[in-house]
Amino acid sequence: AASKDEREAVLGTLWFQVANYAIRPWPWILVALASLLLYPSLEDPEMAYPRAMVDLMPAGLLGLMLASLVAAFMSTLTSYINLSAAYVVNDLYRPFIAPDRSERHYVAVGRLASLAALAIGITISFFTDSISDLFLLLLTLGAGIGLVYIARWFWWRVNAWSEIAAMIASSAIGFLLGMSPRWGGPTFPFAAQVMINLVGSTVLWVAVTVLTPAPAMAKLVEFYRRVRPPGWWGPVREAIGDEAQAPAARTARLKQGLWLWFLGVVFIYAALFGSGKLLLLEWGWGFFFAALAILSGWALARQLTRERVEQLLG
């Protein structure tokens, strides 16, 4: 509803990825690099950014910066609290535990879920020593969730219980791995924590998927007719009958989608590294990545015509 058509939605998503990953990090990185020269003996590295703000920004801009940081913190906090409550009420409590209660009841449950999410966040904060540790813990907690979000587009058996199992397993495994040293257990490197969580959570949510009922066939048919996803949708295609696409057409759409994914990844990473190398005056690599970004962006733009996007999305 927020986009005119599928092509506008794809371009909007692409712009978010570029702005979020290729543009946004570099002002932070440049300030961090400058702080190494400005404050070489600073005991707490996390104080470099606020110290640079106070020392280098004029009073008016400093106040605006502080207000923007407080606003960003509050908006992020409220968004995650509301998102947690929405997950609990709309994806778990309402459909599976209490489906026929009043809206007033669900609002009350949502408020309790918000308080619980806030309490959990406050509790976790007492077990971390720095913002960087908290950030890595957050990445570890979510490491096992991503695959189920991808699999639901390719496998008809993925259901709500699959996602619930992935969320619970990923949060539990990530928390145990992160807190292990504090409880006398082994210390796992960050990469090992991510991989252990990914494998463990995947095994658990796949098992839950197999052991729980599949979504209603009517819902699957409606979804398939609208999206035409590739992958393991055989029973749904059989239910549709003659409306299903031929295998050759499905394979062609899958190849086109993978090619667009590859071009998008190359474009965003090349833009990220290219802008960084140029800002750091490393001209050779900077121009190389910039040229790669231009080339991959041009190839991507040629593929994202309205006709081709409509053909890809069915």
Q: Is residue 38 part of a domain?
A: no
pLDDT of 238 reads: 87
Query: Mean pLDDT throughout 197-220?
Result: 95
pLDDT (tens digit, 9 = 90+) per residue, 29-70? 888 888 888 998 888 888 888 899 999 999 899 999 999 999
Q: What percentage of the chain exceeds 70 in pLDDT?
A: 97
Domain shared by 136 and 156, yes or no: yes
Domain with 87 in it:
67-126
Give the separation between CA 19 and CA 16, rounded to whole angstroms.
5
Distance CA 205, CA 162 (A): 5
Task: Indicate if 182 and 196 belong to the same structural domain.
Answer: yes
Residues 7 and 82 in one domain: no
- Look at residue 57 and tell me if it is in a domain: no
Query: Is 204 found in the same domain as 134?
Result: yes
Domain count, the chain: 4
Specify if 40 maps to a domain: no
Q: Which of 139, 117, 115 is nearest to 128 (CA)?
A: 139
> What is the 3-class SS of 259-294, one letter each residue?
HHHHHHHHHHHHHHHHHHHHHCCCHHHHHHHHHHHH
Assess whether 112 and 149 both reside in one domain: no
**Distance between CA atoms of 142 and 311, rounded to whole angstroms?**
33
Sequence-ordered list of residues with C-beta below 8 angstroms from that of 57, at least 6 positions apart, any chain = 65
Question: Does residue 21 form part of some domain?
Answer: yes
Residue 31 to residue 18: CA distance in whole angstroms: 20
Q: Report the pLDDT value the prediction gives residue 49, as an integer from 0 to 100.
A: 87
Last residue in a domain, options 171, 193, 213: 213
pLDDT single digits (tens) 25-36:
888 888 888 888
**pLDDT digits 0-9 by tens, 280-292:** 899 999 999 999 9
Interval 131-178: pLDDT, tens: 777 788 888 888 999 999 999 999 999 999 999 999 999 999 998 888
For residues 240-267, average pLDDT: 79
Instruction: Tell me the whole-structure pTM to 2 decimals.
Output: 0.75
- Look at residue 39 and tell me if it is in a domain: no
Average of per-residue pLDDT values in the chain: 88
